[in-house]
Structure 1
Amino acid sequence: MKRIEPVTLERGGIRLEPLSEQHIESLSAAACDGELWELWFTSVPKHLQTADYVADALAGQASGHMLPWAVRELASDSIIGTTRYHDIVVDASRVEIGYTWYAKQWHRSHVNTTCKLILLSHAFEELSCEVVGLRTDHFNFVSQRAIERLGAKKDGVIRHHAPRRDGTVRDTVMYSILRAEWPTVQRHLESRLS
């Protein structure tokens, strides 16, 4: 697996820009569209917590286990959400895609499929990953369905796995896509967007 470094990625009217402190205000506004922090099983920051959220992501990048992006919709030139690689394991040629959220107006649109196609293409074709993982809270049924629509396979559930921001502990549903599965997944995602 190649070294993972910040890079701008673009396709289908969506640009993934390396996350920076300059994105704090616009990410805060995006989270306010739908008050996404009210979803107790997600990591979307409240308005006044966006700076800490970005700082945590950048600290993860500095330590080498995360690579975060801000998601820009080009037609409106607006930051509409964020996503990242996380739990990067270079020796296993593995990244996970997560911490993904978009302003509510972009739910059930082309945005998530486009972002996942961009990130999966970069992981398999540029970084030479052998596997890309995705995970979500056991109670985030919308996210589970979205991950399954991508073509990822369910690996299982890790019980009592990670703390939620409210202090409870979640069960985590794990998914993955192997390098050998990527051509079929890619064809599927491209057909969904066409």
Structure 2
Amino acid sequence: MLALPTLSSNGITLKPLTLSNATDLAEACQDGELWKINETSVPEPDKVMDYINTAASMPDRQAFVVIDDLTGKAIGSTSFHDILPFVKRLEIGYTWYAKSYWRTHVNTTCKLMLLTYIFETLEYQTVGWRTNIGNHRSQQAIERLGAKKDGVIRGNRVCRNGVISDTVMYSLIKSEWLPVKLELTKKLNDAH
């Protein structure tokens, strides 16, 4: 297991997800009724504690809570998962934010902090992302980060409504990191 750090930048803090975040996250997932979106992993408000316990019990997942420093409240979550230390690869996923934070600096800030930690502290070689083939918003967000589309895995996930669906896979490798870091930093600077 990786030791999860606390990361802070640009008014956002990432720290290990715990049950103490349950009340805030129950409020955050109601902002936009996110659990009703079939292609996401957002819990129903009354199932946030189960969501946190499940994340903690998964051997290849380490979850962060996303805190808005201005309010001190949890506004979402993101995780490292499918961690392969021997090949220095992991994925970032289970990411969601309260709807009022969509298309703000939050996702870019979180990804810049996570990617910097992964490539520069852990010295991993590859970061992956996966999303439902129908989740075009998520695909666009991943592509805006500079990740490359690896392909589609057909019929490997079940949506919340029981429909079997396909997964789009993306990755970023260490040799691509510096220009991506510069671009993400520029986007954040331009936004302020």
- TM-score (normalised: structure 1): 0.95
User: Secondary structure in 2 aligned to 1:50?
Assistant: helix
Counterpart for residue 10 of structure 2 = 12
Alignment-derived partner of residue 31 in structure 1:
29
* Letter of the 1:69 counterpart: F
1:170 maps to 2:169? no
Q: Is 1:71 matched with 2:66?
A: yes
What does residue 144 of structure 2 align with? 149
Moved more, 157-166 or 105-114: 157-166
Give, in angstroms, the shift of residue 167 of structure 1: 2.0
What is the alpha-carbon distance in structure 2 between the residues aligned to residue 167 and residue 33 of structure 1?
A: 24
Q: Residue 116 of structure 1: which of 107, 111, 116 is its match?
A: 111
What is the alpha-carbon distance in structure 2 between the residues aligned to residue 138 and residue 171 of structure 1? 5
Q: CA deviation at 1:48?
A: 1.2
Structure 1 residue 86 corresponds to structure 2 residue 78? no
Q: Which amino acid aligns with 1:49?
A: K
What's the CA shift for 1:164? 2.1
Q: Deviations over 1:74-93 (max 9, x none)?
A: 01211110001011111110
* Distance (whole Å) between structure 1 residues aligned to residue 4 and residue 29 of structure 2: 23
Does 1:50 find its partner at 2:44?
A: no
What is the deviation of 1:161? 1.1
In structure 2, the partner of 1:186 is: 181
Q: CA deviation at 1:169?
A: 1.6
Give 3-state SS (helix, strand or coil) of 1:79's partner.
strand
The count of residues paired between Structure 1 and Structure 2 equals: 189
Shift of 1:135: 0.8
Provide the aligned C-alpha RMSD in A. 0.9
SS in 2 for 1:82: strand
Letter matched to residue 179 of structure 1: K
2:62 partner amino acid: L
TM-score between both structures, scaled by the size of structure 2: 0.96
Q: Which amino acid aligns with 1:115?
A: C
For 1:135, give the aligned amino acid: R
Distance in 1, matches of 2:159 and 2:118, equals 27
Structure 1 residue 162: Cα displacement: 1.7
Aligned-partner SS, 1:7: coil
Given the alignment of the two structures, is residue 135 of structure 1 paired with residue 130 of structure 2, yes or no?
A: yes
CA distance in 1, matches of 2:56, 2:76: 16
Q: What are the ranges of 5 or more consecutive residues in structure 2 without an aligned counterpart?
A: none
Rounded Cα–Cα distance in structure 2 between residues aligned with 1:170 and 1:113: 27
CA distance in structure 1 between the aligned counterparts of 2:38 and 2:159, rounded to whole angstroms: 8
In structure 2, C-alpha distance between the alignment counterparts of 1:90 and 1:33, rounded to whole Å: 36
Task: For residue 67 of structure 1, report the CA deviation from its aligned partner.
Answer: 1.2
The ranges of structure 1 where at least 4 consecutive aligned residues each deviate by more than 4 angstroms after the TM superposition are none
Q: Alpha-carbon deviation of 1:41?
A: 0.9
